[in-house]
Amino acid sequence: MPTESKHPEALDPVKANQAETPSSKLVCFPADQPLELDSGVQLAPWQIAYETYGTLNADKSNAILVCHALTGDQYVASTNPVTGKPGWWDLMVGPGKPIDTNHYFVVCANVLGGCLGTTGPASINPETGVPYGLDLPVITIRDMVRAQARLVDHLGVDTLFTVIGGSMGGMQVLQWAASYPERVFAAVPIAAAARHTSQNIAFHEVGRQAIMADPNWRGGSYIEEDVRPTKGLAVARMAAHVTYMSDESLHQKFGRNLQNRDRLTFGFDADFQIESYLRHQGMTFVDRFDANSYLYVTRAMDYFDLAHEFGGSLPAAFAGTKTRFCVMSFTSDWLFPTSESRSVVKALNAAAANVSFVEIESDRGHDSFLLDVPEMFETIQGFMTGAAHARGIPAPGEAG
C-alpha cells in the first residue's frame, strides 16, 4: 500500500530537505509497487509530492489536474516554501479565478525527476544511501504522466474533469489525452507542441553543457561532495529565459537602457539593464532548483514525440478520443510557435475530436501563459463552463 504523509509544520521548510521531505503532501510507493519507465527500468521505491486546492465533490467529477512547466512545481496557487513567493499560477487558480477552487478540486504534482519531493536525482537512492545523481534512470514525459496517474488513482479519482498546463505542462496534457483518453474529460494544452523541435533541443543542450562544464558539477555527484554548480546552472537559466520572452517585450522592458550608470564602462560588468536582469534571474534560480533535475527534465522534453509512439501518426494518438480539447497559442511565442499548436489541432480534426483553438494576441512571448493575459483567462473560463455543462455538472456561479 502507498503511504501518505505531510511534512511536520514545526520544521522550517526552507531548511528541510525538500527533495526528500517536502512541505507539501507526499505519497510514497513501496518497493513492491514500482513505476515502469520508458527506459525499461522499474523505479522502486518512489514517491510523488503534490498540493491540492478546493474540495472533491461526492461523485468525484470536479477534479482538475494542473501540469507544471520545466521549472515549475506543485505550488501552483500557494506559497513556495523555498522562495516564499506566491504560487506560479495564482493568477489562474484560486477562489473566484478562472480555475475556481471554490468549485473545483485542483491537484498539482511535482514532476518525476523534479526536486521538490517527487523522486528525482536529488532523492536518496535506497541502494546506496546517497543522492541518485546520474544513477537515476532517464525520465520521459510519459513517465511523468504515469506517475501522475498513480497519484490520481491514490486520490480515488477515476476521470479527471480537466487536465491543463502550459509549455512542458502542455506536453503532459497531450500525453494524458493519448495515454488515458478514458480518464480525461477535457484537455487544455497551452503554448505547447506534440514534439520538441531541433531548435529547442539545441537551446536545452547549451544549458546542459553549461551545467556540466561547471567544475562544481563533479559528474553529477555535487550534493554528496557538498558543493553546487551554481554558475553553470545560472548560465543555463539565463539562456533559457531569453527564449521565454519576445524581442518586442525585451525592447519594451529594457531597450538599450544602462544599469545604474550614465555611460558605458568599457568593461564586462553589467552595463545594460538586460544583462543585470538576466544575471538576477540566473542567481535567484539556483536557490530553488537542482542542477541535475534541470538535466533530467530538459531531457524529458527533448525526447517527447507523441506521434512516434503511434507509428509516426499524430492523428493515431487521438483516434476515437471523446476528450474535449481547447488548444491555445500566443502570437509572439517563438519557442512554441502557433504552427506547433496548429499541427496538434490538425491531428485532432483528423481524428474527429471535439477541439477548439485560439491564437491569443500577446507581445510577451512564451511566458504569456503565466502572465496577466485577459483573453486567455476568458477563453479558459468559457471553455470550462461549456465542459461542465457537457459533463452535467454545475459551472462556477451556478447552483449545484
**pLDDT tens sequence across 157-180:** 999 999 999 999 999 999 999 999
| 205 and 277 housed in the same domain | yes
Q: Is 167 a catalytic residue?
A: yes
pTM: 0.95
Say which of 143, 366, 367, 368 is annotated catalytic.
366
| 287 and 324 housed in the same domain | no
What is the pLDDT averaged over residues 37-66?
98
| 224 and 103 housed in the same domain | no
Looking at residue 227, which CATH number applies to its domain? 1.10.1740.110
Q: Does residue 400 form part of some domain?
A: no
| 209 and 339 housed in the same domain | no
Residue 15 has pLDDT above 90, yes or no: no
Mean pLDDT of the chain: 93
Tens digits of per-residue pLDDT, 72-97?
Answer: 999 999 999 999 999 999 999 999 99
Say which of 23, 61, 167, 246 is annotated catalytic.
167
Q: Is 308 a catalytic residue?
A: no
| 192 and 214 housed in the same domain | no
Number of domains in the chain: 2
Residue 184 has pLDDT above 70, yes or no: yes
Percent of the chain, pLDDT > 70?
96
Give the integer Cα–Cα distance in Å for 326 and 186.
Answer: 8
Among the candidates 269, 297, 325, a domain finishes at 297
Tens digits of per-residue pLDDT, 216-252?
Answer: 999 999 999 999 999 999 999 999 999 998 888 888 8
Among the candidates 240, 272, 297, a domain finishes at 297
Q: Does residue 398 form part of some domain?
A: no
Residue 400 has pLDDT above 60, yes or no: no
**In this predicted structure, what is the pLDDT of residue 280?**
87
What is the pLDDT averaged over residues 174-189?
98
**In this predicted structure, what is the pLDDT of residue 8?**
36
**In this predicted structure, what is the pLDDT of residue 11?**
35
**In this predicted structure, what is the pLDDT of residue 276?**
87
| Domain extent at residue 80 | 3-196+305-391
Q: Is 262 a catalytic residue?
A: no
**In this predicted structure, what is the pLDDT of residue 12?**
41
| 73 and 189 housed in the same domain | yes
| 186 and 60 housed in the same domain | yes
If pLDDT is split at 50, 70 and 90, which confidence band does 1 have?
low
Say which of 214, 290, 302, 333 is annotated catalytic.
333
| 136 and 255 housed in the same domain | no
Tens digits of per-residue pLDDT, 337-386?
Answer: 999 999 999 999 999 999 999 999 999 999 999 999 999 999 999 999 99
Looking at residue 62, which CATH number applies to its domain? 3.40.50.1820
**In this predicted structure, what is the pLDDT of residue 14?**
42
**In this predicted structure, what is the pLDDT of residue 5?**
54
